[in-house]
Amino acid sequence: MAALTPENFERARAIVALYPKARSALIPLCHLAQSQDGWLTPEAMEDIAALVGVTPAEVRGTASFYDMLHTEPVGRHVIAVCTNIACMLGGAYELLEHAEEHLGIAVGQTTADGEFTIEEAECLAGCDTAPCVQVNHRFFGPLDAASFDALCERLRSGELGGDVPHHGTLCRVERAVGLLATEGERGGDER
Amino acid sequence: MTDTAREQVAPQTIQVTVDGTPVPAVPGELVIEVAERAGVYIPRFCYHPRMEPVGMCRMCLVEVSGPRGFSLQPACYVRVADGQEVRTSSPKAAKAQEGVLEFLLVNHPLDCPVCDKGGECPLQDQALSHGPGESRFVEEKRHWEKPIEIGPLIHLDRERCIQCARCTRFAAEVAGEALIDFAFRGAHIEVAPFPERPFSSYFSGNTVQICPVGALTAAPYRFRSRPWDLEQVETTCVTCSVGCRVAAQSSAGRLVRYLGIDSEPVNQSWLCDKGRFGYEAVHATNRVTRPLVRRAGELVEARWAEALREVAAGVRQSDQRFGPGGIAVLGGARLTNEDAYAWSKLAKSILRTDHVDAQLGDGLPAELVLGLPRATIDDAVHAKALIVLAPDLREELPVLYLRLRKAAATVPVIECSTVPTALSEVAHVRCGYLPGEAQRLAGALVGDGSIEEIPGADPAEIERARAVLSALSGEGSDAAVGDGVVIVLGRPSLAEDARSIAGAAALLQRALPGARFLSVLRRANVHGALDMGLAPGILPGRVGLEAGRQWFEAAWGELPSDRGRDARGILEAAASGELSMLILLGADPIADFPDAALARHALEQVDLLVAVATHRDASNELAHVVLPVAGADERFGSTTNLEGRVTRLAPKVVPPGVAWPAWSVAAELARTLGNDLGCSSIETLSREISRLAPAHRGIDLDQLSAPERRDGIVAPLAETPVTLLGRRDGTSPRPIDPMATPGIFSVEEQGAPLGAGTALPVGGSGRRASSPEGARPPLLALGGLEALGLGGGAPGRLDAYSFRLVLRRALYDHGTLVQASLSLRGLAGQAVLAANPHVLEQLGVQAGDPVRCKSERGAIEVPIAPDASLARNVVVLTANLDDGANALVDAGSPVTDVRLETLA
Ligand code: SF4
Ligand code: SF4
Ligand code: FES
Ligand code: FES
């Protein structure tokens, strides 16, 4: 939990070099930093600012715009419960309420053991499996109270480790810019 | 943006119709600008004429005709086209504007009764004029913690913010440091600095002035007054020599606020925080309110007559001991022009001494400043190339920095500096050099001087700079070489002798005869003081002592026979007992003269030390007589900025106690000496200057009072033809940014109508009846420079164990003004010695560890701080931060080398 590691700093430089304007690398670098710590630490945001030539306030301004980027610490598993129309009709609010009760936290909060954060999300494009949730951007649905509890159990036990890497892990960015040759290096279904 | 629009006014015009009235326009102009010219006000929030349009508040929606009929468009973002028709108040436009306002008010707390902006709030005003009148919103509004401190001077009330992005755009676009930005999204959006990185910009106060609601408030003004209780005058900021135009506002006899006025040629509506909040010093507790004389070792209050008699006795005693040369006058850079003229006349014609210097060894020789061809700020920002041989302008002349920073987008800037400055970031080339090598560097830039082996300089950078300059000389064959080049000239480091800079300037001038110079001496009216003759060998109106002798002797009487000493000469003479009496005109040499030890010794040695002062300071602690005078915002008169622009000052509050204007102290002192200075009022003084001072012919207070000349007149009139523009561009009936000039509007309405002014005919008001006989003396020209023996003084080699000292200045320091302003005093930084990280490693110390820094003159202990941008053989200290850094400098030597020792 800190600034970019030397290894990631080098990766970041390589990403910056891919763009005609350094500033364009801002969001890819936010993902990189988030994959390191699970969220964007102030130190990492300062590093990013220096790398792309903007101020830390601008990095935070940009990052905080996006729901997928977190500027505050989150749990190892960020559970985003969709409450948009298809899911709502399928019982999303009941699911959300159950989730809050089951984990003992409100939307936006993190469990004391640092395992789970609950978020409320707009349509995740998983309407066919409504009501659905994303855990660290991996899809699960349709869910009801019982299957939600079971999911939490499996997440907690690490049983889903391969499918659901820790929060922030995104292979797509690096793959898209050619920094990650082989899939599966990090694993996980990313759609 | 208005600059460019104005430049293009000639070429091609198109016709646009605004609310039925045909208006000529230029392609590229914004609908809102054209409507403004037609006298049609379109409501707006985010649009600011000095920043790029963003069209993000939608308040300015109007109907604009296009190929597919009329559509709603933001007037601040859409550019005009030929034949276009604009409807600003059609039912559709009015409904759109109403709708936008209703949305803006959805989350607005409407806590006007407890909001500082209430009564001068564009949101209130426009809700009244363009709003729906009633809200349909019954839901819960969003709530935030009310106001949070986002910077040391700035509070933010997020509930009131309407997300116009004026503040964030100002920070990024104008100030160049985006310390605040929008964070989060939708209803959660807020203006935010980065955690632990407060919005502590030198320009933060501008965001408060341009915020169209009460979201941003300035700590010094919060809850101090209501707009309808304010009285105001338009005057000039005299904190530094940029001379920004301001509205000084008071309530119940106390200054409470400064607002920037949009003076097109100078500050273009911006101010720095030191200027904006420095007014607090006017009401400080350390003001001198009554004359003080020393009795039994203590300064005690006295009556004016008694104090003046004491000074007069000192004058007579000095005359007996030394003849006329026994008296010296130091300072005067914070006086008005009229004050400076009166003191110059007193010193040179009655005290008969030429030992007079408004600068404190921290400037440049007066002959150089007055003799070089002058440039205005506008010349600089429109130059073909800028050579900047100056200190960090953001620290010393903040608003000039803003203007040059903006110019750097289009003008190649060649920066020559001892250490990187704020401008380096935008400079085309930065030529670093080791202090003392300025002259050689200049030689390499413009002459055939070798570009190799200039200590501290990188040949590749010099090559690039030369390429910029030679690309210019290719154009227009008959133009003088260097035509269109502007050289910004100041002292990059106080520990580098002025002679080296003067030598560099002389070289540049010889090689680029077409170039003009912008002097960046820092103190408020230093240029006016030099113009008025507060310098050795200079007489009022930029003439040399010999050249002007006949003319001025006819008017003033006998003048000193020889050129006098400059500040260093005066202090050296005083220290060695060759002076009997020293008068300080608001000067604090102990704090400001680069060689503190010499200054203190000198002040202690003289028989009589007289301080003419507004505030108590380290130097006047030692005085035998202290005479209280009126300071900023307390006096009539005029002031001169670094361009030579003369503007009118206006008082807003009365001086404390029995303080007099400084000119009347001079007049009364003359009377006490049985003489007559011949000036009974500020007007007579002003007319005398206009009549006698060759460079100020035709410039007097009457002229400056005309509404269209409130942006001032650049002296001398005949030589610098300028178009004097009112703060309205001459075509618009409104102030340039009605959002940011609350309260000023009413003043403008009371004044005479404004319009574009034109340069005045030479001779001005025609009151020339009693000028002396004979031809006016010629203005100083640089020809005399070599004769003065400037330049030279090559520094010795830097030995391997030593570091060359760079002594810089910081905007907030321990100077009198900052320390007397409650809101600013805490902002002065910690004194540190900056050095390359390699140096710390060598010494085996950590950042923050104290080290001993020793020169031939003295030693100080100061914490060390790493700075990777520095060369390994220099160290940087900041003057006047209570670490006594100026105790190290030897004013007599070209440079100061120091050694570092660790403390066991
Ligand atoms: S704080 Fe003021 S200037 Fe800044 S975005 Fe909000 S309303 Fe606009
Ligand atoms: S730049 Fe100078 S003149 Fe302008 S506001 Fe600041 S201190 Fe005053
Ligand atoms: S509505 Fe929930 S995924 Fe589309
Ligand atoms: S959108 Fe035009 S003023 Fe804001």
Residue A135 located in a structural domain: yes
Residue A86 located in a structural domain: yes
Instruction: Kindly state the tokens that stand for B5.
Output: 């629009």
pLDDT score of A173 more than 70: no
pLDDT score of B744 more than 80: no
Structural domains of chain A, count: 2
pLDDT score of B863 more than 70: yes
Q: Are B874 and B495 in contact (CB under 8 A)?
A: no
Q: Which residue type is seen at B170? A: F
Which of B441-450, B617-626, B733-742 holds the top average pLDDT?
A: B617-626
Residue A189 located in a structural domain: no
Mean pLDDT of B317-344: 95
On whether any CB of chain A is under 8 Å from the CB of B182, the answer is yes
Question: Which of B467, B461, B397 minimizes the C-alpha distance to B433?
Answer: B461
pLDDT score of B843 more than 80: yes
Locate the DSSP E strands across B148-276.
148-149, 154-156, 180-183, 190-193, 216-218, 231-236, 245-251, 254-260
Q: Are B857 and B903 in contact (CB under 8 A)?
A: no
CA of B115: how far to CAs of B214, B221, B722, B745, in Å? 6, 12, 43, 21
CA of B534 to the centre of ligand 3 (A): 79
In percent, the amount of chain B with pLDDT more than 90 equals 77
Residues 6+ apart with CB under 8 A from B7: none
pLDDT score of B28 more than 60: yes
Q: Are B281 and B821 in contact (CB under 8 A)?
A: yes
Report residues whose beta carbon is within 6 angstroms of any ligand 2 atom. B 237, 239-240, 242-244, 267, 271-272, 274-275, 397-399
Same domain, A153 and A81: yes
Q: Are B497 and B793 in contact (CB under 8 A)?
A: yes
Same domain, A32 and A54: yes
Question: Which of B360, B392, B366, B391 minimizes the C-alpha distance to B889?
Answer: B360
Atom of ligand 2 nearest to the CA of B246: 5
pLDDT per residue as tens digits for the range B417-433 = 999 999 999 999 999 99
Cα distance from B424 to chain A (closest Cα, Å)?
15
Question: Which of B346, B381, B406 minimizes the C-alpha distance to B668?
Answer: B346
CA of A88 to the centre of ligand 3 (A): 8
Residue A52 located in a structural domain: yes
Helix (H, G, I), strand (E, B) or coil at B803: strand
* Chain B residues inside the 8 Å CB shell of A62: 181
On whether any CB of chain B is under 8 Å from the CB of A55, the answer is yes
On whether any CB of chain A is under 8 Å from the CB of B185, the answer is yes
Q: How far apart are CA B599 and CA B591, in angstroms?
A: 9
Return the DSSP state at B785: T
* Chain B residues inside the 8 Å CB shell of A61: 181-183, 192
Question: Which of B186, B125, B179, B126 minimizes the C-alpha distance to B156?
Answer: B179
**Taking the alpha carbons of A81, A85, A90, A93 in that order, is the dihedral positive or negative?**
positive
Q: How far apart are CA B191 and CA B185, in angstroms?
A: 11
A 10-49 near B (Cβ less than 8 A): 42, 45-46
Of A55-69, B582-596, B743-757, B858-872, minimum mean pLDDT range? B743-757
Q: How far apart are CA A70 and CA A54, in angstroms?
A: 19
Residue A183 located in a structural domain: no
Same domain, A148 and A86: yes
Mean pLDDT of B385-395: 97
- Ligand nearest to C-alpha B190: 1
**Residue A129 Cβ contacting ligand 3 at under 6 Å:** no
CA of B663 to the centre of ligand 2 (A): 24
Instruction: Kindly state the tokens that stand for A137.
Output: 């951007």
Q: How far apart are CA B323 and CA B820, in angstroms?
A: 39
On whether any CB of chain B is under 8 Å from the CB of A70, the answer is no
Mean pLDDT of B716-726: 43
**Residue B57 Cβ contacting ligand 1 at under 6 Å:** no
pLDDT score of B786 more than 70: no
Interface contact flag, B194 A56, Cβ < 8 Å: yes
CA B337 to chain centre: 16
Same domain, A67 and A122: no
pLDDT per residue as tens digits for the range B522-556 = 999 999 999 999 999 999 999 999 999 999 999 99
Cα distance from A66 to chain B (closest Cα, Å)?
8
CB-closest option in A42, A55, A61 to B182: A61
The listed CATH number (3.20.20.70, 3.30.300.30, 3.40.50.740, 3.20.20.80) that belongs to domain B292-362+528-722: 3.40.50.740
Same domain, A67 and A108: no
Cα distance from A166 to chain B (closest Cα, Å)?
24
Mean pLDDT of A62-81: 95
Tallying the residues shown for chain B, one arrives at: 904
Domain ranges for chain B: 2-104, 143-283, 292-362+528-722, 367-519, 803-902
pLDDT score of B748 more than 70: no
Return the DSSP state at B615: B
Same domain, A148 and A87: yes
On whether any CB of chain B is under 8 Å from the CB of A54, the answer is yes
CATH number at residue A22: 1.10.10.1590
pLDDT on residue B635? 96
pLDDT on residue B884? 82
Question: What DSSP line would sit under B220-241, residue for residue?
Answer: TTTTT--GGG-EEEEEE--SBT
- Cis ω on the peptide bond leading into residue B716 (within 30° of 0)? yes
Pocket probe mutation, ligand 4, options B46, B48, B78, B166, max atoms within 8 Å of Cβ: B46
**Residue A124 Cβ contacting ligand 3 at under 6 Å:** yes
Same domain, A150 and A119: yes
Q: Are B579 and B606 in contact (CB under 8 A)?
A: yes
CA of B241 to the centre of ligand 2 (A): 7
pLDDT on residue B782? 63
CB-closest option in A45, A57, A64 to B178: A57
Average pLDDT, chain B: 89
Per-residue pLDDT band at B792 (split at 50, 70, 90):
low
Residues 6+ apart with CB under 8 A from B775: none
pLDDT per residue as tens digits for the range B234-274 = 999 999 999 999 999 999 999 999 999 989 999 999 999 99
- Cis ω on the peptide bond leading into residue A131 (within 30° of 0)? yes
Angle, to 10 degrees, between the axis of helix B122-130 and the axis of helix B91-106? Answer: 140
Question: Which of B302, B304, B520 minimizes the C-alpha distance to B398?
Answer: B520
* Chain A residues inside the 8 Å CB shell of B193: 57
Place of tokens 């609310």: B19
Same domain, A63 and A86: no
pLDDT on residue B477? 52
Q: How far apart are CA B815 and CA B523, in angstroms?
A: 12
Interface contact flag, B194 A65, Cβ < 8 Å: no
- Ligand nearest to C-alpha A122: 3
Interface test with B, best of A43, A47, A55, A68 (most B CBs within 10 A): A55
pLDDT score of A50 more than 50: yes
Beta bridge partners of B329: B356, B583
Q: Which residue type is seen at B230? A: L
* 3-state SS record for B313-327: HHHHHHHHHHHHHHE
Q: Which residue type is seen at B167? A: C
Mean pLDDT of B19-44: 94
pLDDT score of B731 more than 80: no
Per-residue pLDDT band at A30 (split at 50, 70, 90):
very high
pLDDT on residue B11? 62
Interface test with B, best of A45, A59, A65 (most B CBs within 10 A): A65
The listed CATH number (3.10.20.740, 3.40.50.261, 3.30.465.10, 3.20.20.70) that belongs to domain B2-104: 3.10.20.740
Per-residue pLDDT band at A175 (split at 50, 70, 90):
low
Question: Which of B345, B764, B751, B728 minimizes the C-alpha distance to B534?
Answer: B345
Per-residue pLDDT band at A183 (split at 50, 70, 90):
very low
Could you give phi then psi for residue B30, rounded to 5 degrees? -85, 150
Q: How far apart are CA B735 and CA A86, in angstroms?
A: 54
Return the DSSP state at B566: -
Question: What DSSP line would sit under B518-544, residue for residue?
Answer: EE---BTTHHHHHHTT-STTEETTTEE
Residue A121 located in a structural domain: yes
- Ligand nearest to C-alpha A83: 3
pLDDT per residue as tens digits for the range B128-180 = 999 988 889 999 999 999 999 999 999 999 999 999 999 999 999 999 999 99
Interface contact flag, B194 A55, Cβ < 8 Å: yes
Quote the domain boundaries for residue A51.
6-71+167-176
Place of tokens 């002076």: B579
pLDDT on residue B1? 43
pLDDT score of B473 more than 80: no
pLDDT score of A9 more than 60: yes
* 3-state SS record for B571-592: HHHHHCCCCCEEEEECCCHHHH
Alpha helices in B39-143 (DSSP H): 91-106, 122-130
CA B313 to chain centre: 39
CATH number at residue A119: 3.40.30.10
Residue A1 located in a structural domain: no
Mean pLDDT of B349-377: 94
Decide the pairing of beta strands B429-432 and B413-417. Answer: parallel
pLDDT on residue B595? 87
The listed CATH number (2.20.25.90, 3.40.50.970, 3.40.50.2300, 2.60.120.200) that belongs to domain B143-283: 2.20.25.90
Q: How far apart are CA A146 and CA A164, in angstroms?
A: 20
Locate the DSSP E strands across B19-82.
21-25, 61-66, 69-74
The listed CATH number (3.40.630.10, 2.60.260.20, 2.40.40.20, 1.10.3720.10) that belongs to domain B803-902: 2.40.40.20
**Highest CATH level, class, for B367-519:** alpha beta
Same domain, A96 and A147: yes
In percent, the amount of chain A with pLDDT more than 70 equals 88
**Residue B161 Cβ contacting ligand 1 at under 6 Å:** yes
pLDDT on residue B790? 54
Interface contact flag, B192 A58, Cβ < 8 Å: no
Q: How far apart are CA B130 and CA B146, in angstroms?
A: 28
Instruction: Kindly state the tokens that stand for B853.
Output: 């820094």
More confident residue, B340 or B762: B340
Residue A188 located in a structural domain: no
Could you give phi then psi for residue B594, rounded to 5 degrees? -60, -20
* Chain A residues inside the 8 Å CB shell of B182: 61, 65
In percent, the amount of chain B with pLDDT more than 70 equals 90
Give A35: exposed, middle or buried? Use CB within 10 Å, 0-12, 13-18, 19+: buried
CB contacts < 8 A, A to B, total 43
On whether any CB of chain A is under 8 Å from the CB of B195, the answer is yes
pLDDT on residue B453? 82
Query: In chain A, what's the furthest Cα-to-Cα distance?
Result: 50
Same domain, A45 and A117: no
Q: Are B804 and B436 in contact (CB under 8 A)?
A: yes
pLDDT on residue B649? 95
Same domain, A116 and A142: yes
pLDDT per residue as tens digits for the range B676-696 = 999 899 999 999 999 999 999
CA of B691 to the centre of ligand 2 (A): 30
Q: Which residue type is seen at B608? A: L
Could you give phi then psi for residue B482, rounded to 5 degrees? 90, 0
**Residue A84 Cβ contacting ligand 3 at under 6 Å:** yes
Same domain, A86 and A65: no
